[in-house]
């Protein structure tokens, strides 16, 4: 089979086109790393959502709730462990960040389980109701966050050893962004291995294409969907924790704000496609950073413009899932 390389080439093409427009090589490297870090954090948050849509045609507009809960739970744990966060030891810093991220994933995953059972399950196969009910779920979750954590924004400082930047000659690369890139790549690799090298991954890929036929082969796709929904929620929690540290401020609206980017990414990638979601996230991250530097006034609309251009080229997204 001819592999479709064109979408893959878009990422280096966008980066190379931006080089002369940015003008300075050092700024370009900094922006590129920042764009990749932002893109990979969005990918972590978006990957579960694209799979749940692919598997069960579920439009979950409440996905931002898992992101926000992840950010708040991680912030609470990190604030509780603030002596370790401020220690000048990478190990103590990680000893604070690790449990915080783990707690964010567990709570978001558990919330996902309840959300699927109470909110999503009654509206399977009804897209309009899914949009209304899951959006309502997001609004309720935001208000509950204000009840539990208060209406004020939480300021969160990064751990001591993850502040500042690595200096490579004239190029400054923020340490936290390097960590975000590393975590994003690990999540992508783990997902790729799970989807391509395991039986459960085979089932998910088949289910995304044709869930009815997977059931006719004797597999209970709803159980699979619940598993993917919970895993996707946990990943959203991880992404929320990382996004909170990236922004260093957390509000109840953090999930809804970043969910806009998440939806742009899964539409660009092709609904149901993890590979497309990965490429889409990198494109969104890179273009947001380049355009924010080159033409700050149009930065806000840059992602919508990117989505429009890609959909004009490929109306089903970069990697449309077969049979959909």
Partner 1 sequence: MADALLSLRGVKTDIGRYHILHGVEFDVPEDGLTMLLGRNGAGKTTTLRTIMGLWRAAAGEIRFDGRDIARLPTPDIARLGIAYVPESMAIFADLTVQENLVLAARSGPPDPQRLDWIFARFEALKRFWTLPAGNLSGGQKQMLAVARAIIEPRRLLLIDEPTKGLAPAIIANMIAAFRELKDGATTLLVVEQNFAFARQLGDTVAVMDDGRIAHTGTMASFAADEALQAHLLGLGMGEHQ
220 binds partner 1 (CB under 8 A): yes
Distance of closest approach, residue 319 Cβ to partner 1, in angstroms: 9
For the chain, the C-alpha Rg in angstroms (whole number) is 19
Nearer to partner 1 by Cβ, of 223 and 297: the residue is 223
Stretch touching partner 1 by CB under 8 A, among 27-35, 181-189, 198-206, 241-249: 198-206
To partner 1, the closest distance from the beta carbon of 98 in angstroms equals 36
Q: Does 55 engage in binding with partner 1 (CB under 8 A)?
A: no
Establish if 161 lies at the interface with partner 1 (CB under 8 A): no
Residue 323 in the binding site for partner 1 (CB under 8 A)? yes
Binding of residue 69 to partner 1 (CB under 8 A): no
Question: What is the total count of residues that contact partner 1 (CB under 8 A)?
Answer: 21
127 binds partner 1 (CB under 8 A): no
Tell the smallest beta-carbon distance from residue 218 to partner 1 (Å).
4
By the rule CB under 8 A, 146 interacts with partner 1: no
Angle, helices 221-247 vs 90-115, to 10°: value is 140
Number of CB atoms found within 10 A of residue 125's CB:
9
Q: Phi and psi for 89 in degrees, rounded to 5?
A: -140, 125
CA distances from 311 to 59, 88, 121, 140, 255 (A): 19, 48, 30, 32, 25
- The residues of the shown chain that bind partner 1, judged by CB under 8 A, are 1, 199, 202-203, 205-206, 209-210, 212-221, 321-323
């Amino acid at each position: 089979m001819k592999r479709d390389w064109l979408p893959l080439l878009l990422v280096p093409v966008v980066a190379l086109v931006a080089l002369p427009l940015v003008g300075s090589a050092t700024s370009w490297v900094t922006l590129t790393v920042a764009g990749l870090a932002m893109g990979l954090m969005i990918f972590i948050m978006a990957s579960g959502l694209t799979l749940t849509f692919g598997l069960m045609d579920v439009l979950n507009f409440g996905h931002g709730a898992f992101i926000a809960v992840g950010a708040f739970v991680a912030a609470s744990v990190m604030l509780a462990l603030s002596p370790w966060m401020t220690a000048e030891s990478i190990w103590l810093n990680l000893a604070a960040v690790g449990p915080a991220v783990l707690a964010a994933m567990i709570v978001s995953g558990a919330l996902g389980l309840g959300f699927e059972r109470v909110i999503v399950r009654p509206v399977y196969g009804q897209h309009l109701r899914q949009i209304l009910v899951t959006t309502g779920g997001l609004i309720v979750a935001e208000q509950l966050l204000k009840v539990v954590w208060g209406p004020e924004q939480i300021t969160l400082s990064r751990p001591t050893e993850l502040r500042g930047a690595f200096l490579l000659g004239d190029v400054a690369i923020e340490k936290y962004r390097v960590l975000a890139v590393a975590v994003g790549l690990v999540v992508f690799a783990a997902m790729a291995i799970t989807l391509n090298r395991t039986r459960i991954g085979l089932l998910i890929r088949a289910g995304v294409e044709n869930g009815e036929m997977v059931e006719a082969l004797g597999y209970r796709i709803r159980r699979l969907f619940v598993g993917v929904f919970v895993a996707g929620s946990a990943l959203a929690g991880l992404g929320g924790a990382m996004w909170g540290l990236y922004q260093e401020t957390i509000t109840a609206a953090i999930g809804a704000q970043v969910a806009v980017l998440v939806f742009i990414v899964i539409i660009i990638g092709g609904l149901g496609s993890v590979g497309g979601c990965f490429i889409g996230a990198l494109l969104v991250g890179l273009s947001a950073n380049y355009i924010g530097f080159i033409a700050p006034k149009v930065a806000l609309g840059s992602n919508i413009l990117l989505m429009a251009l890609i959909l004009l080229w490929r109306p089903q997204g970069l990697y449309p899932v077969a049979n959909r």
